[in-house]
Amino acid sequence: MLSRKSFRPAAFALALSLAGLAPSAQALNIVLNDVGTTKMSAEQLGAFQTAANYWSGKLTDNVTVYVNIAFSDLAPNVLGSTGSSRAVLDYGSLRSGLATDAKSVTDALAVASLPAGSSLSFLATQGDLTTRLDNDGSTNNKQFVVNTANLKALGLDPGTNASNPDARIEFANGFASSFAFTRANGGVPSNKVDFITVAEHEIGHALGFASGVDSIDFCVGHTAQCGLSGAPNEFEASPWYTPLDMFRYSAAGQRDVTLGGSPYFSVNGGLTSIQPFSTGVEHGNGQQASHFGIGAFTLMRPFVGTGQSYDATASDLMAFDAIGWDLAAAVPEPSQYALLLAGLALIGMARRRKRD
């Protein structure tokens, strides 16, 4: 299934779509295939390849991810669109895959925060916009929507290839002149948007930085388009949430996939807030939930302004680590690790007390 999202520029603070470590001996390989009617220039393709090479230098998973790319004639005022191939994986298999793949402190914390069993509980928005603790073990608790690229990081083979890619990223022909395709002297002109930053962000979404909260956000307000009626319990019968949603909290011990609110990324059961999340276009803070919050200067925030050029932060990379990707090097500051390790110790103590 290929999901598509479109985004529009606003005062040259452009919305981004769901959309310096030395490389290790093993590295992620991203294969770009220009499928546009008008092929990218060497400069444009080189900028996209620079973004792909950035991720290859950060992630050591020995897998190949296939991405179709293009400049296309999109709808008026639409900057770009992107989509990822996805599959459904049951919670037990997802947790087991993360546990088997665990290599870092972040991995250990993330896996420890996930309960054993066949389903996950969380605060969730219902079809009538009410909120409840969803712990009934229905389909939306038992099955998760996972990008095929993310499946590869977990050692699973979704069967994608150059002819059946993991993602497609497009940009509008009409905005080509608004991009800077090189970071000349380490900078970007003040009236241009750095294409490399945007492409790195888009590839990040293809690798799994996504939230099912966006689907709920849309379907609550467009029930007919989603084949729904607005009944309170109708989200129960289908999978909606993603691996990243398993680390979405609003308080210690409170996993939270509701619309709006104040959710944050945490890998130790909500004890430590690493970064706030955005909360939804229609029923949240006006930004897609598949992003970090607007107040943080991260690669996976919802927008990039003109003249700005940057790569992933420690928070960005920890999120990819938590959902199954392997980092070339540990990235959090020592103080962050101290907080997280303290959280891990608390989790361990709580589990021992429970067993006793």
pLDDT tens digits, 115-163? 999 999 999 999 999 999 999 999 999 999 999 999 999 999 999 999 9
Rounded Cα distance between 319 and 217, Å, is 22
* Residue 26: predicted pLDDT: 77
Asked whether 78 and 7 are in contact (CB, 8 A), the reply is yes
CA distance readout (Å), 350 to 112, 254, 264, 343, 356: 11, 15, 22, 11, 10
Rounded Cα distance between 206 and 48, Å, is 14
* Residue 47: predicted pLDDT: 95
For the chain, list residues with pLDDT below 50. 1-24, 334, 345, 347-356
The amino acid sitting at 16 is: L
Helix, strand or coil, per DSSP, at residue 179: strand
| CA-based nearest residue to 86, from 201, 195, 214, 231 | 214
Neighbours of 270 (CB within 10 A): 22
Q: Which helix (H) or strand (E) holds 5?
A: strand 5-7
* Residue 332: predicted pLDDT: 58
**Angle (deg, nearest 10), helices 314-322 and 105-112:** 60
Angle at 274 between CA 166 and CA 104, to 5 degrees: 65
- DSSP conformation class of 59: B
Question: Which pTM does this prediction carry?
Answer: 0.88
Rounded Cα distance between 217 and 277, Å, is 14
* Residue 72: predicted pLDDT: 87
* Residue 161: predicted pLDDT: 97
